[in-house]
Amino acid sequence: MKVRPDIDELFERRIVYPDFEPQERLAALVGLEDHKRRLTNILALLVNTDGLEVWAKRYHPGAKSVVNAVMARPPLVVLAGDVGSGKSALAETIGDAVARQEKIDVTLFPLSLSTRGEGRVGEMTQLLSAAFEYTIDEAKKLKDSESERSRGAVILLVDEADALAQSREASQMHHEDRAGVNAFIRGVDRLGNGKLPAAVIMCTNRPRALDPAVRRRAAEILTFARPAEAQRREALAPALGELGFSARQIEAMVTATGPREDGDQGFTYSDIKQRLLPAIVLDAYPHQGVEPGLALETARRMLPTAPFQEGVS
């Protein structure tokens, strides 16, 4: 194995913000406005502490202890929630909002699942350590030694985080996995101790499976739920309105995508965007327009994605 893995072995791709494509994808994530705003502000402060100093001087001069407490938070945010709830999509696009708000370039490094390695002794630890080394090296280039304000920022994205940072308390956990978790924790600590313009976003369906030391280091754990009635309406109304649905017909679709009488939970965001809307179009294509009554039947027949249950394989 090479002393240091190639960057393309560690990261699926690299995305530089701002860019119009992730901006459009971010705007399309309806019903998550509070999560967008909060995550943007969290990341902005983690990667650019100068903004907090400016804010404090303007609104709360002398509030040094509070500012220090905020700045001391580890550069880690956990996005936790059910499948299809928008976690990964938000994690992949939020860098654009941070870049535009802070007027800097932000680079996303999405960690490849191949970073788990093939089980050889020390492999997972080496791969994770290398991923953090690349992130740290890139962040150092962006840090201005004469100012708290950075010329840019880096976000390391860890999707399906429980596969890499599962609890070391699990009795069946392999020693190599334990070493990998230790390497991950060391990497987060190095980013924080170096006060570098970098942050880590972890996405997981199983927050309780994460190692307690990882959870403790999270500056925040944002929880994602299935869309409520107002959020489903926000997701459905624009598209169905374009297809000629009346307000009453749209409301019927909103109800049909909610919780079922048999106890099934309602649709996820991905159920609505990636399954339901394409299905009602394909039912009509290519010889007729979308018929609201048939679309409603399609929604009622379609089963929502089953919720993820921890401990069930």
CATH number for the domain that contains residue 132: 3.40.50.300
Total tally of structural domains belonging to the chain:
2
For 286-312, give one letter per residue: b (16+ CB within 10 A) or e: eeeebebeebbebbeebebbeeeeeee
CA distance 278 to 172: 43
| pLDDT the model gives residue 170 | 54
Contacting residues for 284 by C-beta, under 8 A, at least 6 apart: 290, 291, 294
Are 129 and 217 part of one and the same domain? yes
64 C-beta neighbours (distance < 10 Å), count: 10
Going by pLDDT thresholds of 50, 70 and 90, the confidence category of residue 309 is low
Sign of CA dihedral 141, 143, 147, 152: positive
pLDDT, residue 221, reads 94
Instruction: For residues 220 and 288, state if they share a domain.
Output: no
Q: Which of 206, 224, 242 is the last residue of a domain?
A: 224
**Which domain covers residue 131, as residue numbers?**
7-224
Provide the sign of the torsion angle of the four alpha carbons 103, 29, 188, 19, taken in this order.
negative
Question: CA 286 to CA 288: how far, in whole Å?
Answer: 6
Q: Please give the average per-residue pLDDT across 41-46, as a whole number.
A: 90
| Nearest in space to 130 (alpha carbons), one of 163, 156, 165, 91 | 156
Among 192, 224, 256, residue at a domain's last position: 224
**240 & 216 share domain:** no
The predicted structure's pLDDT at residue 313:
41
Q: Is the dihedral of CA 283, 284, 290, 294 positive or negative?
A: negative
From the list 152, 115, 31, the residue with the least C-alpha distance to 81 is 31
Lowest-confidence pick of 2-11, 83-92, 284-293:
2-11
In a domain, 311, yes or no: no
Q: Confidence band (pLDDT; 50, 70, 90) for 121? A: very low
Distance CA 98, CA 45 (A): 10
Q: What percent of the chain has pLDDT over 70?
A: 87
- Confidence bin at 181 (pLDDT 50/70/90): confident
103 compared with 311, residue with greater pLDDT: 103
pTM of the model: 0.86
The mean-pLDDT minimum among 15-19, 69-73, 93-97 falls in 69-73
Strand stretches in the chain, DSSP E? 15-17, 76-81, 105-110, 152-158, 198-204, 220-224
Return d(Cα 61, Cα 301) in angstroms, integer.
Answer: 59
Q: How far is CA 174 from CA 111, 152, 167, 207, in A?
A: 21, 38, 11, 20
One domain, residues 274 and 144? no
Question: Residue 172: pLDDT band by 50, 70, 90 thresholds?
Answer: low
Asked whether residue 178 is assigned to any structural domain, the reply reads yes
Banded pLDDT at 169 (limits 50, 70, 90): low
For tokens 């926000």, what's the residue? 234
Q: Do 185 and 296 fall within a single domain?
A: no
Q: What's the pLDDT score for residue 113?
A: 64
Residue at 306 is within a domain: no
Pair (284, 169) in one structural domain: no
- Note whether residue 95 is domain-resident: yes
Instruction: Give 136's DSSP letter.
Output: H
What is the C-alpha to C-alpha distance for residues 109 and 244, in angstroms, rounded to an integer?
41
Which residues, including other chains, have CB under 8 Å from residue 82's CB and lie 6 or more apart? Answer: 205, 224, 225, 226, 268, 307, 308
- Taking only Cα atoms into account, the Rg of the chain, rounded to an integer number of angstroms, comes to 22
User: CB-side exposure of 263: number of CA atoms within 13 Å?
Assistant: 0
Chain position carrying tokens 């880590």: 200
- pLDDT tier, 291 (very low <50, low <70, confident <90, very high otherwise): very high
Residues 183 and 100 grouped into a single domain: yes
